Amino acid sequence: MPRKKLAPNVYDRMLASNAQVCCVCKRRGIGVNIHHVDHDPSNNDPENLAVLCVSDHDTHHRPAANPALTHLELSASEIRRYKSEWEAFVEEASKPDPAVLAVVNVYGSEDRLHSARLLFQWVDGPIIFQRVYHLLDGPPDTWIDSLFSEIVWLGNGIKLALVDGVLDVAYCPHCHGSLCNVVTPGAARMLTAHDWPEQSIGSIYVNPEQPSLAVHIAYRTDPIVSASLHKCGRDLHLHADNFDERRPITRRPSVRSQAMSLAMRFLSEWRPGKILIGTGDPDTPELMDQLRLPRCWETSGITQR
C-alpha cells in the first residue's frame, strides 16, 4: 500500500500526546517512529498512529529477530492498549491538579541506600511506569536530580509522595520480580485534591456502652477511609483499610487519654477540613463539642469489636 506522508501538525501532535517517548517502554533519549497500528501506511488517522521507539517498532514487525528484547508479544491490540493508556496519562499529568501521583521507594539502610524506585500511578492505584536508580548508575545525590527531572518532564502539577522509611527489597513468590509500595487510592485522593480542606470531613462515633469508636473520612460524597479503635485486653487496637496497629496500654496517662491520642493522631494524618463527633444512638447521634470517652474504657477485661 502506498505510504501517505504525515502532515507536520499530525506528527507534532502525536509526539506531544506521548511526551516525546515510546508508549510501550517510556524510555527517554532514544529515537522513536510513528507506527501505523493496522499496517496501512496510508491511514494517518491519529487513532491508528502510535509512537514506538526503534527497538519496540522493530520487535513488533520482526519478533523473531530480537529474542533478547522484552516486548516479544507486541501485537496490534497490545500497542493500542499501551497507546490509549499512555496518552490518557500524559494528558492528565499536564493538568494543573492532575489525578496522578509520583511515588518514591528507597531501599537499603539508613546509613547506606543502594537503590530507589520512582513510580507514576493513577490516583486509584494502577502504576503506569517506573524508573529505577541504583548505585551502579551513580551516587544517590544524582538520583534526586533525575527524580525531579522525570516529574517536571510530565507535569509541574504532579504531587510527589515519599514512602516513609527505608525499605527492604521483597520479591514476588511467583514471577520473582521486586515488589514496590504504592499510595492507596484514599491517600492519593487526599494528596492530589486541591480542595481537600474545603470538601473533606472526618466523623467519629463514640460507642457509649463499649470501649470502642469508629472513624470515617469522606471527600465530597465519596468515602475515603474507615477505621475502628477498641480496647482489646491490654492493647489498644486500631484497624483501618490496609492498616492495623496494636499499642500496649501504659499505666499513665489514663486509658481514655491514650485512646483519644491515638484516634486524633489518625485523624491528623488525614487532615479533614471538618470534624464531627457523635455518641448515643448511632442512627441519630448526639453531637459533642470535643472527643470524650465513657468510663467503660477504664475497666478491665477483653473487648471484641
pLDDT digits (tens, 9 = 90+) for 68-103: 555 446 889 999 999 999 999 999 999 999 999 999
Residue 23 near residue 90 (C-beta atoms within 8 A): no
Rounded-to-integer distance, Cα 292 and Cα 141, Å: 48
- The predicted pLDDT at position 68 comes to 54
CA torsion angle 10 14 20 26 (round to 10): -160
Tell me the whole-structure pTM to 2 decimals: 0.80
- Is residue 66 pLDDT above 60, yes or no? no
Helix axes 8-17, 76-93, angle to 10 degrees: 80
Chain segment 239-282, per-residue pLDDT in tens: 998 889 999 999 999 999 999 999 999 999 999 999 999 999 98
C-alpha cell at 154: 510530565
**In b/e form, how buried is each residue of 136-173, taking b as 16+ CB within 10 angstroms?**
eeeebeebeeebeebbeebbebbbebebeebbeeeeee
Percent of the chain with pLDDT over 90: 73
- Is residue 303 pLDDT above 80, yes or no? no
Q: What is the mean pLDDT of the chain?
A: 90
Higher pLDDT, 73 or 16: 16
Rounded-to-integer distance, Cα 66 and Cα 176, Å: 24
- The predicted pLDDT at position 23 comes to 96
Higher pLDDT, 107 or 57: 107
Q: Count Cβ atoms below 10 Å from residue 37 Cβ, excluding itself.
A: 19
Rounded-to-integer distance, Cα 238 and Cα 228, Å: 6
Rounded-to-integer distance, Cα 118 and Cα 115, Å: 10
189-198 mean pLDDT: 93
Chain segment 140-167, per-residue pLDDT in tens: 999 999 999 999 999 999 999 988 888 8
- Is residue 64 pLDDT above 70, yes or no? no
- The predicted pLDDT at position 110 comes to 85
- The predicted pLDDT at position 71 comes to 46
Range of weakest confidence among 29-38, 53-62, 150-159, 188-197: 53-62
- Is residue 301 pLDDT above 80, yes or no? no
- The predicted pLDDT at position 67 comes to 56
- The predicted pLDDT at position 302 comes to 44
Helices vs. strands in the chain: H and E counts, helices first: 7, 13
Rounded-to-integer distance, Cα 100 and Cα 128, Å: 10
Cis peptide bond prior to 208, omega within 30° of 0: no
221-245 mean pLDDT: 93
Residue 176 — very low, low, confident or very high, per pLDDT cuts 50/70/90?
Answer: confident
Percent of the chain with pLDDT over 70: 93
Q: Find, among 202, 166, 222, 226, the residue nearest to 278 by Cα.
A: 202
194-197: which pairs have CB atoms within 8 A and are 24 or more residues apart?
Answer: 194/97, 196/271, 196/273, 197/271, 197/273
- Amino acid identity at 39: H
Residue 21 near residue 32 (C-beta atoms within 8 A): yes
Chain segment 100-129, per-residue pLDDT in tens: 999 999 999 988 999 999 999 999 889 999
Instruction: Say which DSSP state 3 is in.
Output: P
43-51 mean pLDDT: 95
- Amino acid identity at 290: Q
- The predicted pLDDT at position 265 comes to 94
Q: Which domains does the chain have, with CATH numbers?
A: 8-93 (no CATH), 100-189 (3.30.420), 195-298 (3.30.420)
Sheet with strand 100-108: strands edge to edge: 127-134, 113-122, 100-108, 159-162
Rounded-to-integer distance, Cα 201 and Cα 278, Å: 14
Per DSSP, helices labelled H in the chain are: 8-17, 54-61, 76-93, 140-154, 185-192, 196-199, 255-270
